[in-house]
Amino acid sequence: MDYEKDNGEVSPDEKEEVTNGEDFSLLVDSTLKRPVTGEVIRGTVVEVRDDYVFVDINYKTEGFFPTSEARDSEGNVTVKVGDEVHVMCVRFTSKGEVILSKEKADKVKLWEKLQEAYETGKPVPGRVTKKIKGGYEVDLGARAFMPSSHADLKPLSDPESIIGLEDEFKILKFSRQKLNIVVSRKERIIEEREKKKEELLATLKEGDVVEGRVKNITDYGAFIDLGGLDGLLHVTDMSYGRVSHPKEVVSVGDVVRVKVIRFDREKERISLGLKQLKPDPWTLVREKYTEGQRVSGVVTNITKYGAFIEVEEGVEGLLHISEMSWSKKLKNPSEILSIGDRVEVVILSIEEGKKKMSLGLKQLLPNPWDAIKEKYPVGSVVEGTVKSITDFGIFVDLGEEIDGLVHVSDLSWNERIKHPAELYRKGDRIKAKVLRIDPENNKFSLGIKQLREDPWKNIGERYRKGMVITGKVTSLADFGAFVELEEGVEGLLRTPEISESRVEKPQDVLKIGEVVTALITSVDEKEKKISLSIRAYQRMLEKKEMEEYMKKESSEEVTVLGEALKSLKDKLNLTNENN
């Protein structure tokens, strides 16, 4: 009911109604309810002073509470004229003034809100303030206790790490009378995850791009928390390039966008991919690269047979050890390359279907074999220094990038050499003839014995089967003896051919340096072999002696017969004369 008009005057009828002051007072009291001490009521802020805040509580007089109850931690007043606030009627003064308390009303409302949250299971916001025995103190507006086992899904490695954390908590126990509240962050997380899990199971599908947080990292991949469900981001699906360990790409706590590449709804298994968010770089290789093109790349891996070079993320080529140098015989690529080196190479071939690229390093360098073939033609005589000696020959330094090799078989025509060190030492100056130049197999072959004519040349003209020879024993072996026929030419006298008598070892009957005579039993000019036999020679001598003996015996018999016939003839002639 309006007691005053807009112009401030009172009508005659109204004057009559309000003339009596007592009647007016009764009218006001009947329309305005007197608050009860301890009651929480709603009012409107009508004035804010430094010391008090005055509130219209729909009573005949305004109530007030200390301004300090409306200040924040920094001292700023949090209410203003026109704001609706809850206040508690604390008491009345002797003058009928109403003393209020916003702080007490807030506490009452807070406990009502907390009780409702406990009964409905709805989480409430709070802040972990400090670590106490058995758990943590949590500020919900009212003090609450959270056991350590309810701080997270798993035990915290650093219990102090959640101090100051603002989050939502589920109320497990609530007693307003005892002012006792027990909360759990773990239960809230579990319920939230279950809810999100159900949503994911219902909506997630292969091909979806989702966001998650890296939860855990292993040697083979990273587990991503999608909110209710975990997915595995395998190391092979992190990048098209080479990844040695998942930690090179992600860290625990990282928020990442990934693609669902496989999803088993029944087993709740999710496979995720990071590289699948980008096109496979091999699909564009032919557009970017061609055979013969020079490219720069980084060495990502080294094996015994070569090095892998990444020319761009996801595109690697193999630099085979045979394509690293024209002349150096590398045992391992690590002799000239290290992981992480940036090198320039040439693309030799591309097989995009197999995702293979062959690279070359030596193609960027001058080919020393071209200079070798031009400077040292086959048949020319060269001079150099013995660089190294091996079981199979000697390497000769000609002052070039490539060394020549004199194989042990090309050292001498006639000497049987067990090791080249018998004839040469490192640093010796020698002459040799160029025999072969084979760039494909990295062979530059030299020969020393070829500096003079092969003594076996036309050997068949000088030595024939059945010829008797005399030579010097040069070496003995279990199977026979070698006999020098001339410089560079030896024949083999096998043990059974040494004597008619049984010979166990050639050393038993022959000595090195001894001169022997034998019969040539065979000549193989192609294989450079001449077989000798003392036994055959002895048999030949015996046969010859027998023939000469038989010839002599026959001649003597003829002489005796002739003399007898002559004597008979003389006798006959004498008889005829007498008659």
Instruction: Report helix, strand or coil for 370.
Output: helix
Count the Cβ atoms, other than its own, within 10 Å of residue 53. Answer: 27
In a domain, 111, yes or no: no
Half-sphere exposure of 123 (CA within 13 A, CB side): 16
Say if 115 falls within a structural domain: no
Question: Is 194 inside any structural domain?
Answer: no
Same domain for 524 and 458: yes
DSSP secondary structure letters along 50-101: SSEEEEE-SSSS-EEEEGGGGB-TTS-B---TT-EEEEEEEEE-TT-PEEEE
Same domain, 269 and 292: no
Enclosing domain of residue 300: 281-364
Residue 433 lies in a domain: yes
- My answer on whether 76 and 175 are in the same domain is no
Report the alpha-carbon distance of residue 302 to residue 319 in Å, rounded: 10
Domain identity same for 472 and 551? yes
**139 in a domain, yes or no?**
yes
The answer to whether 274 touches 282, Cβ cutoff 8 Å, is no
Q: 436 and 333, same structural domain?
A: no
Contact 439, 369 (CB under 8 A): yes
Of 302, 329, 364, which closes a domain?
Answer: 364
Burial of 540 (0-12, 13-18, 19+ CB in 10 A): middle
Of 364, 399, 432, which one is at a domain's C-terminal end?
364
CA distance linking residue 413 with residue 314, whole number of Å: 59
Domain assignment of residue 171, yes or no: yes
Number of domains in the chain: 7
DSSP state string for 90-135: EEE-TT-PEEEEHHHHHHHHHHHHHHHHHHHT--EEEEEEEEETTE
| pLDDT score of 556 | 60
- Residues 375 and 443 reside in one and the same domain: yes
Kindly give, in sequence order, each residue whose CB lies less than 8 Å from that of residue 364, ignoring residues fewer than 6 positions away: 294, 344, 345, 346
Q: Are residues 460 and 558 in the same domain?
A: yes
Give the CATH number for residue 60.
Answer: 2.40.50.140
50 and 97 belong to one structural domain: yes
Output the pLDDT for position 36: 86
The stretches in the chain having pLDDT less than 50 are 1-21, 24, 26-28
| Residue 539 forms part of a structural domain | yes
Whole-structure pTM value: 0.47
113 domain-assigned: no
Contacts of 566 (CB under 8 A, 6+ apart): none
Task: Verify that 523 and 418 share a domain, yes or no.
Answer: no
Instruction: Output the pLDDT for position 13.
Output: 44
Query: Of 236, 252, 277, which marks where a domain is finished?
Result: 277
